[in-house]
Structure 1
Amino acid sequence: MVRFLQVVTTLALLAAGGSSGQDAAPLPSALPRPLTLNVAPTPAAAFPVPDLRVRVHGGALLGRALDGGIRVWQGVPYAAPPTGERRWQPPQPPAPWTGLRAATALGDVCPQPLSQMPGDGRSGVRGAEDCLFLNVYAPPLPTAGRATRTPVMVWLHGGSFRSGAGSDYAAEVLAREQGVTVVTLNYRLGALGFLAAPALADGTGGSGNYGLMDQQEALRWVRRNIAAFGGDPRNVTVFGESAGAMSICAQLASPLSRGLFDRAILQSGPCTPQGITTPLSSALTTGSAYARALGCAPQDAACLRAVPAARLLDVPVPGSRVPGAVELGIVSGDRALPRPPAEVFAAGAGLRVPVLLGTNRDEGTLFVAPVAGAGQDLPLWQFWAVVALLERWDAPRALASYPAAGGTVGNAAAALVTDSIFACPTSDLAADLARTGPVYTYEFRDPAPPLELSPTASVPRYGASHASELVSVFGTRLAGLADPAQFTAPQAELARTLRTYWANFARRGDPNGPGLAPWAPYDADTGRVMGLAPGATAEFTGFRQDHRCGLWDRLAVR
């Protein structure tokens, strides 16, 4: 099977002529740090909205109210700062505080490149190492009667394991409209989150996957504390997109995740194709070379922990040559993920929870569009070279299935990326998971979502590209990607339908509900998938045929 890291890296390498790295500015404190108010507790009657003051393990928090009665707590620490000796260690509980801590400003994001979108062109970095914060959005309290516990939805952001933050997503629409408590969070990224190196081995099989362990610690925090915000700690759904969904996929295969969540929603993020996870032995080899590139001996933990965070972003990881490619990601073979997820799921050994998962019809357009530049199509030789490099003797069969005749070479390449990396592996994952629990599958099919992306000669129309469903899920603008204010009436209705399906699934593990098109659990015999399109939400068959999954089944190395 075409490997995710190889496709993205190779396409970008050909476009960039083998350039490496990017200049990094000193790390700014991009967002205000949360304040600690060391004052004596004030009687509840003195607060205009008493329910904004909550007590969690560690101390008392003061949130704020948004329009429409939404209550939000921001910059809440769920773990101690992973700095100094705690860098490249499993997350530790945060230090308790006295008095009332103001949870009214976003915490720092984890260190990452400033630019998150392909072709953005911006350089520099944002964030700080003290970044393990989460944000809680609670729905309005009832005007009469007692409030009931609400379902909890915990969001894991995407960004190729090197960028993104929970604070990039505003969840007030989802919380208010669907009556759910939403938690968004940061987790360590890049080398700080996923570096495996001999110096960092802890003697118990731990090296790498610190970002996965952060996610697990945040979920533990939710189980312990979400009741204080009105959420139901016994009804927690984790949902995420791209790297966030790949993380959830890995969590489903991790023995350390047992008991941390009750349901899972994976948007465009299978973790089973080759290259999504890296064997520990290979990760340690890469980590040793990276340590030397940083000027440290592979066994010298003190030297590595003394390297400034900005330099970790500035020095390319050996084997990666292009900004934006996934340099370091999930590791299999350590304590957090002892076995490759594909092996776990094939054996029926993953966590047995209801799962909703799917992809977008045109995932690959986002990755291919910037490769050749705005004024030219992807050169045919580049497309052929990539497929030949990846598929070797099977390249003629793959190329014959994705002709550029009648369209652009970029569109042919985008279709190959869509099918081989997203659609078919997700369909295979659904089949594996459905053997041990209920699974619901979808395809987001809006042909013209309101994207803030410039078309190129290579990809003149993005369609339902990677990440294009996110503004429907959250109902708020994502800067540089899309704005729901530009929805047509059918698109706005589709967005409400999508949020309702997601929230219904979070409530009881079944997306169905009154007024919605019926959605049957996955059935390999019928192959039905829920199609999510403006004015045309309904199940359809032929998903695997549409995405040439028979071809990729034959070419796959499982």
Structure 2
Amino acid sequence: MTRTLSLLTAALLSVAAAQDTTAPAPALPPTTQAVPAAAPGVPVRTQVAQGTLVGREANGVRVWQGIPYAAAPVGERRWRAPQPAPLWVGERDASQPGSVCVQPRGALDGSAGGLRGSEDCLFLNVSAPANANRAPVMVWIHGGSFRSGAGSDYDGRLLARERGVVVVTLNYRLGALGFLAAPGLLEGRTDGNYGLLDQQAALRWVRANAAAFGGDPQNVTVFGESAGGMSICDQLASPGAAGLFDKAILQSGPCTPNINTGALADALRTGAAYARDLGCPDGSAACLRAVPAEQLLRTPVPGRRAPGSVALPPVYGDDVLPRSPQEAFRSGQINHVPLMIGSNLDEGTLFTASIGGARDIPAWQYWALVALLERWNAPRILANYATRDYPTVGLTAAAIVTDGLFACPVNDMARTLARVTPVYAYEFRDRNAPTKLKPTASVPNYGAYHASELISVFGTPLTGLADPAQFTPAQADLARTMRAYWTNFARTGSPNGTDLPIWRPLDPTRGNVLTFQPGSVTESTAFRQEHRCDLWDR
């Protein structure tokens, strides 16, 4: 299923490049929230293992930013597992975020083109209630297709103040610097997955230092969306992540499709070709470590793939991920923690919006693509995703992306894991979710698009994407309800609480999913029928 769907998605997205070369790559854009350069408020000090931090306190929340959780991964430390964070003498100013990991500038913040960040980027940020005492700790792993984004793009202050939790956001290495697997970089049985190793190092730092911020080091929940959710999905299957977190929330983050986690052997072939293109025909580590970061980002990763898809995803077959997550999940040999897993009703609209440019995709082209890629199964696909049943052909394509690449893989994963650990399954269904994204001919309405739940979970704006100031009263109520569920789960392992509709653990035989929409939080058992998951289960 996943190979066919990835090919079909690739072909549909490739239409955008053929029809409108000026259109941005249709991938999740990095959210770039403008966290203040320096947090407001009065100085507040705390002692961590490396030394004294001076943050800021304002409006009942204490914020420390730009905290190094590992040594700078530069020079000989490039493409190695993260090393312990440095100590410092005296006080370290923690009023400003640290550098983001080097990445292309995003289109959403009006700064498309060029680079932002640096290689010295392994920093995290902490928001804590001023009176925190053994409060639950929630560690956020950002999305961005494993090539963009930063912890400082997200503001944890409202969650901390409203819900009494300590919120940690972190950076991890991205793109080639985070996920290149090449023969010359092999160390022991580790190659690639440096970004996943960074996340593990950050979680070890949180375990060791949470108490300094009023957090409970024995009650750590990791949560993330898109590539962040996929990262957590991978960490569930990683032996090195055992014992680093107590609960996990995966938002729109299936790691089981093979476009999201690849085999090491394939990654090594790609890495060898990439090394040659970088001017390192022998592929040696010394040559690769001498390549400027700017050249790494400017040099395309070899291989055929959809515009905007992940060129260098995490890999399995090394010590970080010895087996594919799908195999690990089926065997039940995972890091057993309670889970919340879900997706959004219209995930695919964000990815197909730019297809066609100023006009919708021609129906004949959509039919031809389905016939070419699905072959004998094409009539079945076309019957289930007929263009006449959707306002535009682009929305037809979006339904395929939603069902085949997000909804069904996420639900498959949830059902598999529910057999070995408690899982609470959800779907975000607000089809009038606020957005600053421009309508297109292919997608005149984004609906409950990929990432649309984020402003509800954090309660803060994401520049270029959406702003909770646009909420209707019913949407604001829904957002508060979601934050209550998310933080209740972090506190106790169950999302349920006073004055909230009961959320039952997923029973794979019933297929019960809690659905979130303004004015209605209800259980549904029709998820797999609505998303035609039987069509993709083959």
TM-score range, shorter chain: over 0.9
1:429 to 410, 413, 420: 413
AA in 1 matched with 2:113: S
- CA distance in structure 2 between the partners assigned to 1:367 and 1:31 by the alignment: 24
Q: Which runs of 5+ in 1 are unaligned?
A: 23-29, 36-47, 142-146
1:357 to 335, 338, 341: 341
> Does the aligned pair in 1 maintain the 2:247–2:338 contact within 8 Å?
yes
> Does the aligned pair in 1 maintain the 2:346–2:399 contact within 8 Å?
yes
Matched, 1:236 2:226: no
Identity within the alignment, %:
61
Structural mapping, 1:215-234, within 5 Å: 215-234=199-218
Matched, 1:378 2:361: yes
1:73 to 64, 67, 79: 64
Q: Is the partner of 2:229 in helix, strand or coil?
A: helix
Tell me the equivalent position of 2:165: 180
Cα deviations by residue, 1:275-302 (Å, 9 ceiling, x for unpaired): 2211000000000010011111243111
> Does the aligned pair in 2 maintain the 1:114–1:124 contact within 8 Å?
yes
> Does the aligned pair in 1 maintain the 2:17–2:307 contact within 8 Å?
no
- CA distance in structure 1 between the partners assigned to 2:448 and 2:23 by the alignment: 30
For the structure 1 residues 381 and 110, does the alpha-carbon distance in structure 2 shift closer, same or farther, using more than 3 Å as the test? farther
> Does the aligned pair in 2 maintain the 1:197–1:298 contact within 8 Å?
no
Q: Is the partner of 2:234 in helix, strand or coil?
A: helix
For the structure 1 residues 445 and 321, does the alpha-carbon distance in structure 2 shift closer, same or farther, using more than 3 Å as the test? closer
Q: Is the partner of 1:405 in helix, strand or coil?
A: helix
AA in 2 matched with 1:500: A
Deviation at 1:13, TM superposition (A): 2.4
> Does the aligned pair in 1 maintain the 2:12–2:397 contact within 8 Å?
no
For the structure 1 residues 244 and 6, does the alpha-carbon distance in structure 2 shift closer, same or farther, using more than 3 Å as the test? farther
For the structure 1 residues 225 and 269, does the alpha-carbon distance in structure 2 shift closer, same or farther, using more than 3 Å as the test? same
1:61 to 53, 77, 83: 53
Structural mapping, 1:248-327, within 5 Å: 248-320=232-304, 324-327=308-311
Tell me the equivalent position of 1:490: 474
Cα deviations by residue, 1:37-89 (Å, 9 ceiling, x for unpaired): xxxxxxxxxxx967x211111111100123x2110000000011111110000
Cα deviations by residue, 1:239-287 (Å, 9 ceiling, x for unpaired): 0000000000000000110000000000001111232211000000000
Q: Is the partner of 2:388 in helix, strand or coil?
A: coil
Deviation at 1:464, TM superposition (A): 0.2
Normalised by the length of structure 1, the TM-score is 0.90
AA in 2 matched with 1:126: R
- CA distance in structure 2 between the partners assigned to 1:139 and 1:11 by the alignment: 47
Deviation at 1:382, TM superposition (A): 3.6
Matched, 1:449 2:433: yes
AA in 2 matched with 1:13: S
Q: Which runs of 5+ in 2 are unaligned?
A: 25-32
- CA distance in structure 2 between the partners assigned to 1:128 and 1:6 by the alignment: 34
> Does the aligned pair in 1 maintain the 2:14–2:307 contact within 8 Å?
no
AA in 1 matched with 2:51: G
For the structure 1 residues 210 and 294, does the alpha-carbon distance in structure 2 shift closer, same or farther, using more than 3 Å as the test? same
Q: Is the partner of 2:212 in helix, strand or coil?
A: helix
Structural mapping, 1:501-520, within 5 Å: 501-520=485-504
AA in 1 matched with 2:126: V
Structural mapping, 1:23-422, within 5 Å: 52-66=44-58, 68-115=59-106, 122-141=112-131, 148-202=133-187, 204-320=188-304, 324-373=308-357, 375-406=358-389, 407-422=391-406
> Does the aligned pair in 1 maintain the 2:233–2:255 contact within 8 Å?
yes
AA in 2 matched with 1:74: Q
Q: Which moved more, 1:207-216 or 1:378-387?
A: 378-387
- CA distance in structure 2 between the partners assigned to 1:117 and 1:381 by the alignment: 32
- CA distance in structure 1 between the partners assigned to 2:371 and 2:2 by the alignment: 11
Deviation at 1:237, TM superposition (A): 0.3
Deviation at 1:339, TM superposition (A): 0.1
Q: Which moved more, 1:416-425 or 1:107-116?
A: 107-116
Tell me the equivalent position of 2:27: none
> Does the aligned pair in 1 maintain the 2:60–2:130 contact within 8 Å?
yes
For the structure 1 residues 435 and 524, does the alpha-carbon distance in structure 2 shift closer, same or farther, using more than 3 Å as the test? same
Matched, 1:547 2:531: yes
For the structure 1 residues 402 and 229, does the alpha-carbon distance in structure 2 shift closer, same or farther, using more than 3 Å as the test? same
- CA distance in structure 1 between the partners assigned to 2:476 and 2:275 by the alignment: 49
> Does the aligned pair in 1 maintain the 2:128–2:166 contact within 8 Å?
yes
Deviation at 1:21, TM superposition (A): 13
Tell me the equivalent position of 1:10: 11
> Does the aligned pair in 2 maintain the 1:289–1:298 contact within 8 Å?
no
RMSD: 2.4
AA in 1 matched with 2:12: L
Count how many residue pairs are aligned between Structure 1 and Structure 2: 526
Q: Is the partner of 1:63 in helix, strand or coil?
A: strand
Deviation at 1:9, TM superposition (A): 3.9
Tell me the equivalent position of 2:28: none
Deviation at 1:197, TM superposition (A): 0.2
For the structure 1 residues 322 and 419, does the alpha-carbon distance in structure 2 shift closer, same or farther, using more than 3 Å as the test? closer
- CA distance in structure 1 between the partners assigned to 2:203 and 2:356 by the alignment: 41
For the structure 1 residues 464 and 508, does the alpha-carbon distance in structure 2 shift closer, same or farther, using more than 3 Å as the test? same
For the structure 1 residues 21 and 130, does the alpha-carbon distance in structure 2 shift closer, same or farther, using more than 3 Å as the test? farther
For the structure 1 residues 314 and 230, does the alpha-carbon distance in structure 2 shift closer, same or farther, using more than 3 Å as the test? same
AA in 1 matched with 2:67: V
Cα deviations by residue, 1:80-135 (Å, 9 ceiling, x for unpaired): 111111000000012111000001111111111111559x8922111100000000
Tell me the equivalent position of 1:537: 521
Deviation at 1:15, TM superposition (A): 1.5
Deviation at 1:16, TM superposition (A): 1.1
> Does the aligned pair in 2 maintain the 1:444–1:464 contact within 8 Å?
yes
Normalised by the length of structure 2, the TM-score is 0.94
For the structure 1 residues 150 and 390, does the alpha-carbon distance in structure 2 shift closer, same or farther, using more than 3 Å as the test? farther
- CA distance in structure 2 between the partners assigned to 1:506 and 1:389 by the alignment: 46
> Does the aligned pair in 2 maintain the 1:290–1:317 contact within 8 Å?
yes
AA in 1 matched with 2:84: P
Q: Which moved more, 1:216-225 or 1:429-438?
A: 429-438
Q: Is the partner of 2:87 in helix, strand or coil?
A: coil
Q: Is the partner of 1:17 in helix, strand or coil?
A: helix
Q: Which moved more, 1:395-404 or 1:222-231?
A: 395-404
AA in 1 matched with 2:348: G
Deviation at 1:325, TM superposition (A): 2.2
- CA distance in structure 1 between the partners assigned to 2:107 and 2:168 by the alignment: 22
Q: Is the partner of 2:289 in helix, strand or coil?
A: helix
Deviation at 1:321, TM superposition (A): 6.3
